[in-house]
C-alpha cells in the first residue's frame, strides 16, 4: 500500500531557531499533501494544503510566515517552523492524497519540542 | 463546509464486550467518510473508509462501520474488543466535489478497554 515517510520523528530545538520537517510519498506521486498540528489530547487541526508546484493554501489563523511549506516535487513536501517558540511545541503530521482512490495516507508524525 | 462530531470523548468498555463509537457529519455535498486509529505518539492508521456502494464497511482489526445518509452518521462498531484496541479513534470527512479535498477530523474518542 501507499507509504508516507515523515522525518524526523522527534526534534528538540532552541527557541528562535528554525526546524524543517520532511514528508515523502515513497511509492506514489502526491500532487496534494496536507499538514496537521495536534495538541495534547486534541484532534488534528489542518494547517495547510500543499500543492506541488504552487503556493500552499493556509487555513484561517495559521501564520504562513511562521510555517513555511514547500512542495517542490511530486514526492516531497516540507514544513519549516521558523523562529520557533515554546508555544510551537506540538505533534505535526503530514498526509498525502492517493490520487484517484479517495484515500489519504499519513506520516508517522513529528514531535517538536522548543526549549 | 464539512464538519464532524464525535459526541463521546471517552468510551470505557470491558474486554470482550461490544463497542460503538459514534460519528455524525454535516456537509452540503456528497462525502467520503473515514475512521482512523491513533496509538500514543504515533501517526494515524486507517481502519476503514466509505467512498460509495455498500453502506456497511468492514475494516481492519474486526471493526466495521455503517453509513447512514438519512441520519448523517458513520458509527464504528466492534463486536468484541481487546485490550490492544485501547487508543484514540478519529472520524473524518472529505468532500467529493474535489474543490479542496480537505480531510476534516472530529475531536476523537478515547476507547479505554479494561480487563
Task: Kindly report, residue by residue over B5-20, the tens digit of the pLDDT.
Answer: 999 999 999 999 999 9
Interface test with B, best of A1, A39, A44 (most B CBs within 10 A): A44
How many whole angstroms separate alpha carbon A30 and alpha carbon A10? 24
Task: Check CB contact under 8 Å for B34 and A104.
Answer: yes
pLDDT above 70: residue B52: yes
How many whole angstroms separate alpha carbon B57 and alpha carbon A88? 38
How many whole angstroms separate alpha carbon A86 and alpha carbon A13? 9
Task: Check CB contact under 8 Å for B42 and A49.
Answer: no
State mean pLDDT over B35-48.
90
CA distances from B39 to A79, B43, B65 (A): 23, 7, 20
pLDDT above 80: residue B96: no
pLDDT at A26: 92
State mean pLDDT over B42-71.
92
How many whole angstroms separate alpha carbon B13 and alpha carbon B17? 7
CA distances from A81 to A33, A64, A67, A72 (A): 17, 10, 5, 17
Task: Check CB contact under 8 Å for A106 and B41.
Answer: no
Higher per-residue confidence, A52 vs B36: B36
Beta bridge partners of B68: B73
B 7-46 near A (Cβ less than 8 A): 32, 34, 36, 41-46
State mean pLDDT over B54-70.
95
Task: Check CB contact under 8 Å for A34 and B103.
Answer: yes
Residue spans of chain A under pLDDT 50: none
pLDDT at A51: 85
- B97: confidence class by pLDDT, cuts 50, 70, 90: low
pLDDT at A101: 64
State mean pLDDT over B100-106.
85
Residue of B nearest to A31 (CA): B101
Amino acid at each position: 500500500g501507499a507509504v508516507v515517510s515523515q522525518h524526523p520523528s522527534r526534534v528538540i530545538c532552541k527557541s528562535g531557531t528554525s526546524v524543517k520537517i520532511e514528508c515523502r510519498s515513497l511509492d506514489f506521486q502526491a500532487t496534494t499533501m496536507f499538514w496537521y498540528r495536534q495538541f495534547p489530547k486534541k484532534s488534528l487541526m489542518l494547517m495547510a494544503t500543499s500543492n506541488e508546484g504552487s503556493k500552499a493554501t493556509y487555513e484561517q489563523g495559521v501564520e504562513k510566515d511562521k510555517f513555511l511549506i514547500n512542495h517542490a516535487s511530486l514526492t516531497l513536501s516540507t514544513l519549516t517552523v521558523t523562529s520557533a517558540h515554546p508555544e510551537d511545541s506540538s505533534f505535526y503530521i503530514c498526509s498525502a492524497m492517493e490520487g484517484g482512490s479517495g484515500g489519504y495516507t499519513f506520516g508517522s508524525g513529528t514531535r517538536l519540542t522548543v526549549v | 463546509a464539512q464538519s464532524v462530531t464525535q459526541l463521546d470523548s471517552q468510551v470505557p468498555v470491558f474486554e470482550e464486550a461490544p463497542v460503538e463509537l459514534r460519528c455524525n457529519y454535516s456537509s452540503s455535498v456528497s462525502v467520503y467518510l473515514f475512521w482512523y486509529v491513533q496509538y500514543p505518539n504515533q501517526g494515524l492508521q486507517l481502519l476503514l473508509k466509505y467512498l460509495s456502494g455498500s453502506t456497511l464497511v468492514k475494516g481492519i482489526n474486526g471493526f466495521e462501520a455503517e453509513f447512514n445518509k438519512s441520519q448523517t452518521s458513520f458509527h464504528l462498531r466492534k463486536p468484541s474488543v481487546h485490550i490492544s484496541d485501547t487508543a484514540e479513534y478519529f472520524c473524518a470527512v472529505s468532500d467529493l466535489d474535489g474543490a479542496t479535498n480537505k480531510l476534516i477530523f472530529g475531536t476523537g474518542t478515547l476507547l479505554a478497554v479494561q480487563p
